[in-house]
A and B are shown apart, each in its own frame.
Chain A
Amino acid sequence: MAEWPASPSVIGKRIPRLDGLLKASGKAKYPSDVHPKGLLFGAMLYSPHAHAKVKSIDTKTAEKLPGVKAVLVIAGPGTTLRYHGDDIAAVAAETEEQARDAIRAIKIEYDVLPHVVTEAQSMAEGAPEVFKGGNVKKGRGQTKGKPEDAMASAAATIEATYTVPMITHVCLETHGLTVGLEGEKKATAWASTQNVYGIAGDLAQALELDRGDVTVYTEFMGGGFGSKFNADVWGTTAAKLSKMAGGRPVKMFLDREQEHCAAGNRPSATAHIKMGADREGKIVSVIAEGHSTGGVGNGTNMILPYVYRGVPHYSVGQANALTNRGGSRAMRAPNHPQSCILTEAAVDDLAEKLGMDPLEFRLKNLDPGSPMTPIYQAEIPIGAELIGWREKRKPRGKTGTGPIRTGLGMALHTWGGGGNPGKQVSCTIHPDGSVDIKTATQDIGTGARTILAMIAAEILGLQPTEINSLIGNSSYPPGQPSGGSTTTPTMAPPCYDAVTKARDALFKKVASAFNNARPEDLSLKQGQLWAGGEPVASWKEACRKLGTSPISVTGEFVDGLSSTGVGGCQFAEVSVDLETGEVKVKKIVAIQDSGLILDLLTWESQVYGGVIMGLNYGLFEEVVMDPTSGRMLNPDMEWYKLAGASDIPEIVVRAYSPPDEKGRQVIGVGEPPTISTAAAIGNAVSNAIGVRVTEWPMSPRNVLNALATASREGRA
């Protein structure tokens, strides 16, 4: 079993990312920025209808327009289009303006079919089918114990329907790539992807080439969040257009509208939940029936109850309602944010019903069989202290008399995020002292590039800036696709292995040159080679002894360096204007364990970023569909609302990392901190205004509607 150094000099420090200044000076070239010689601009034609059959398609006029070099039909006559944004055809032209004109000049006759875009439409009797075989697919159901009996004997029960809408990834760099061919045999692509290694295969297949004949670069990429693992129709289409245009490179990036409609979403989730507890405040039963839609893709796989898996009796049923919307894709902690909202809202409501402090109620109901339980037990008091739970929190609705009420809420989450064997990293030590780390992974904003350099620097006694961290190239040793918070825990071990082996090989080769030292006497620190407690040479001098032969080692996954499974809790303080329904988040506290932290600076950024994405989920985001036309009504960044600087509260982030925690090694942190924010905000809003807002996001509309309903029913 390998081990991380006990007293590291680089690991755990705050290291600014290596490519930070390139990004902050506008000099970083993203796949959408590159401009290879002879570049053509691509544009996609996509369906304006939610459901239609292509009757005819005529590209003649488009082909004759000035500047147009290639037109490709994706959906020929007879093809069924299943959502607004579905791909129909593509064009490559000399200028982007010309490409768009050509798209407009393609004549299509549609046979418009009846559609279902809302869950209600999808689930209605006799609804038009998205695919043959019915719209409603029963999902994983679970039953444990005797939930009905347990519910009947519960001292307190709640029953409510909670809803969270579909959202989209809104990658700022839309999906796409730039791709060109040399001759018929070699292709080069610059792809905005989370999977530089895998995309090469997708493109090779589309071009009928060998994988090795396709080189894909992803030096930088503008956000993926789980939606950018494949070349996709538009990517392979760009490759085909390039081939049609004699190999001239084609740049094809989606416009914002198609990005929203077709490039992935986080499915909605609605659950009708009954939850009961005994007099002591132990949850005894959960009965939940949920449904969701992920468009033409999978719905939410609801984990109910979430976190509180020790509940003795529960039954959960769920259904995926297919709709005429683009298909869902993995999005930052798939299934968890929805499950967290649904469960934590019900848990909060039940605590309220019992008249218990929801924090105490949660502590009481942690799963005794879960390894996360001691982590939550340690984290919750830290978070409570930082948010001021004891001093500030008032019982729900007893928050004062004025129009502005403040409230506190909390929620718990869990995630895996472990490493997987099978990926490789190479380390080359050159005689001039330069060090190359190579692997076909990519930095999607997490800091992966910097972390690999830090590991190498740690082992070689150098600074991270002295390491060439070479990633984002499909011809490098196979690297991890960036998903599931697995990149760092997967790539750190082979990096450690490669650099350690390279160092040992260096020692072996040069030891004799330093007073005939034995390799085992040598060590590296502070940029020096040490022999028996004395610095004997600078790093560069030591490497010079290699003569003309560099050392190159490929490392594999080794055990003992990465682990899996984290728990976290978040607290929110909000103020709500009862008269306007406006919600302002004042403070978020996030306590997150994630094992060994490699770069504290970028780790914190990940947690802040997760919280802010959760804040967007809690306050602003939703895909709005028009039931009649079947179109998405807000495929923009105007009515699809995302936080700006003035919406960001004070955010306090704490790593939960006692010494034994660090012993659990490296665990990814991309996903966990985004899970529970929206749930905590919703609970804080309910605490502030005295009634549950059952529909996310916490928009003025949903808040005022909840207040109006309560008032009508005499509850507030």
Chain B
Amino acid sequence: MTKFAALVLIMLASALCVDVYALVVTTAKEKTAEMSKQQRRGQLIYMTGRSPSGQDIQARLNDKAGSLPGSLMPCVNCHQDDGKGTTEGGISPPDIRWSSLTRPYGINRKDGSTSPAYDKRTIKKAISLGLGSGGQVLNPVMPRYQLSHQDMDDLLAFLTDLGNYRVSGIREDSIRIGIILGGVSLRGKSSDRQDTAGQVSPRSQAVKQLLESYFREINLQGGIYQREIETVFIPGPEDFSPQSLAKFRQTLADSQVFAFVASALGGIEKLMADFSLASGIPVIGAFSPRPATDFPLNPNIFYLLSGQTRQLSALQHFTQGPYFKQNPTQVSQQQKLKAVVFIEDSPEYIPLKQQFSTQAHHIILRAAPATADKTLKETLTTLKQQKYNQVYLLTSSANQQAFIRQANAVNWWPYVMLPGSQFGNALLASPLKFNEKIFIALPNLPFDYKKGGIALFQQLSQKYQLSPDYQNNQLLALAAAILLRQGLMTTGRELTPTKLIANMEGLYQFETSLTRPISYGPNRRLGTSGAYVVSLDLVNKTIIPVSNWLEVE
């Protein structure tokens, strides 16, 4: 009898064990849930309060007052991206992970009352009417949302798995990192045009090789907390047509990376800002001539260098500085600088107009230079007669060259001020009369490269036979990768995008050895904010630094 009982016990135990095992397996399976397409749409609503279908989402705070756009108060504001919620100002949002909401024994509230477990029907009521599962009125801070049935279904699909999603791009033994390579430039850079669609330019190829080798080197040394870095290279959109952009966005979503690094965002800043907000995927070390760092800040995108707005500010600052005063020979006949601003009529340059006072003399140039040649000549002659002697040239490089050529033709050699993002080598071939008269603001200079950084680059370069060209691009990409490594290292093994972003924000005067020290902060997404000013030595075909680092606030 006892033997039988023991047998039964053993059988029971094993049966239980199997059950427990099965349970473990199922939860483990749920833990690795990938998001379905519907869930991704739901995530977008959760993170941004906007509908992927473009329909209206409204929120109201109390019934009597009118409604507000849902984007003012998306779910994530209080419930956080993991649904656990954050306490702020004495308001503690409840844990809304599906597993917590649907506990069979219901929900014990802080005031001692309990309410039954939620189901899909009652959660809809909570979102749209602000009523809890027991019919009680929820905290007035919880907005009541009005959304379409489709959006509600999408959101619900996302919510019912909230808490089970795997952090995008993180596996037990790997971290997936995406790199967006520079797309095809549409701005008439004829030298870059030979690369056809689908092929990456030699510059991107060089950057790709460098990053691959750097991350391989990290992996060889044990990876980051026992995780190897896996790289995904994504070519930029072929052009800026809506179809290509949509396709590109789909590629981004499918890439399932943890973060992007060293990514060229020129022209796609807005798209990336939207994408990173909706998906929560950060971009560390982004490059763009026009970094989108306006307030309200996109917290997920960390730019490395300042863009043309700040470069222009540095130029203006430089103009008022001692350089022109100390070198009386520089200013002919001791006269004061009289500036004129040339702005190209394109969305890239027009916003720069705000940097100048309204009294400044503006001339708007059309984007196509060839047609404007004759009128340009007349304009320049007039300007020469009016004794203008300084020109801010905010145009694409084709227009820059046209200007230099025409100005030379009418024997007018003013000081030419250029933000550096448009600096092309073609300018070094300008007429000698412009020697040391062309000033360019650059966000970084070779003397920012410190010994350590150069040594690392040379090691990689020798070991992996990297391309000898595009060194500047390679070095900056390397700086971005070093930055990401630092972020990952300080975050530790429990990686989430939120933690990584918090740690990146904490960086102060971080030395990449390849750039000026990098600082970020709660309101700062530009690693270095400012520029150097150099002038062009047309005789020796080189640049001469004429200023110290000019920090721009």
A is bound by B: no
Measuring CB to CB, which residues of chain A are less than 8 angstroms from any residue of chain B?
none
